[in-house]
Amino acid sequence: MKKPRPQITGLLNQNGAAVLSFRAARNVLYGSHNHKTAVEKNALAASLLVAAILLGSGMAIVIRFLEGYSAFQIVFLRSAIVVSVLLPILTFRGSRFWDVARPRLLFLRGLLGSIGQTLTVMAVLSLPLATFQALSFSRAFMVVALGVLVLGEIVTWRRWAAVALGFVGVLIVVDPLTAYNSAAFYALGGTFAFACALLLTKVLLKSESRGTLMLWNAGTHFTVSLIPALLTWSQPTGWDPLLFLALGAIILVVQPISLQAFRLGEISALAPIDYLRILTGAASGFFVFGEKPGASFWVGALVIIGANVWIQRQNAQS
């Protein structure tokens, strides 16, 4: 029997490595990790979260490179890519994503997510990346306040103090004396919409699968942004179609990685790692776009982180 030619052998080895890599990644995301200790689970979850944070920073950079397009078009094309990938996968797996228990809540969650996505893209296009990342941490404070108003949760005065401290940090980061502070409302508005959607997610996870939530979310984004995207449409040229594809691909990778990270690891262990988003935002803005955060940013970011840590400790004690 003749041996394969060297180039064919190399090709087979490469394909075998690719299959093994795919299987390894699938096992990490969807395999059972019950045999691992708490330390091993936290270490794996931390690695996944770091990967998600780095990919998220890359997504912000890609959006900034697409600044010649409207936020509606960016959201529309990104959601179209996500739907085109998720729809055949869920159909092949036999998912009855159309047979849902709470279609109105699913649509409302998708609508809030669409508003949040659009405002977030507008914020990324308008704000320094470090400022945008710092303001996104105000979601924790908004969830506490919304939990009281919507779900009737009981909040101690310590949590309210942490919420107030967090919003003081937001004001410091925004710095009303700067020229871009009005654009901060895009980030805060998008964060508020995501906080509302998060409360609905907690309710819907009791009756709907994660795949259904992802598909309905992307489908609603696609539907809501369709007409505004057409009205503001600019024909993608050059490398821009690849950038749009990259946006969709990043979302499809980041979401399951993030979910698995927080499913495996303890929140108390992962919270400090999540704050890397502020540093990666500052690094991306500095090295790619020459943005230099001022002293008010760093002071405000520290206040926001301190308030988040305070809230997490209160949650752990309750």
pLDDT tens digits along 20-33: 444 555 555 555 55
Alpha carbons 261 and 125: distance in angstroms, whole number: 28
**Alpha-carbon span 242 to 22, nearest angstrom:** 23
| 234-287 per-position pLDDT tens digit | 999 999 999 999 999 998 888 788 878 877 877 666 766 777 888 889 999 999
Rounded CA-CA distance 54/50 in Å is 6
Distance from C-alpha of 212 to C-alpha of 8, rounded to nearest angstrom: 42
Q: CA of 306: how far to CAs of 154, 168, 176, in Å?
A: 22, 11, 22
CA distances from 317 to 21, 149, 197, 199, 313 (A): 41, 22, 26, 21, 6
pTM score, whole prediction: 0.79
The pLDDT, as a whole number, for residue 287 is: 94
Residues 264 and 48 sit within 8 Å (Cβ to Cβ):
yes
Q: How far apart are CA 264 and CA 12, in angstroms?
A: 34
Q: What is the pLDDT, as a whole number, of residue 276?
A: 82
Q: What letters, b where the CB count within 10 A reaches 16 and e where it falls short, cover 244-259? A: bebbbbbbbbbbebbe
Question: Considering only CA atoms, which of 5, 309, 7 is closest in space to residue 159?
Answer: 309
Q: Please state, in angstroms and rounded to a whole number, the distance separating the CA atoms of residues 176 and 184.
A: 10
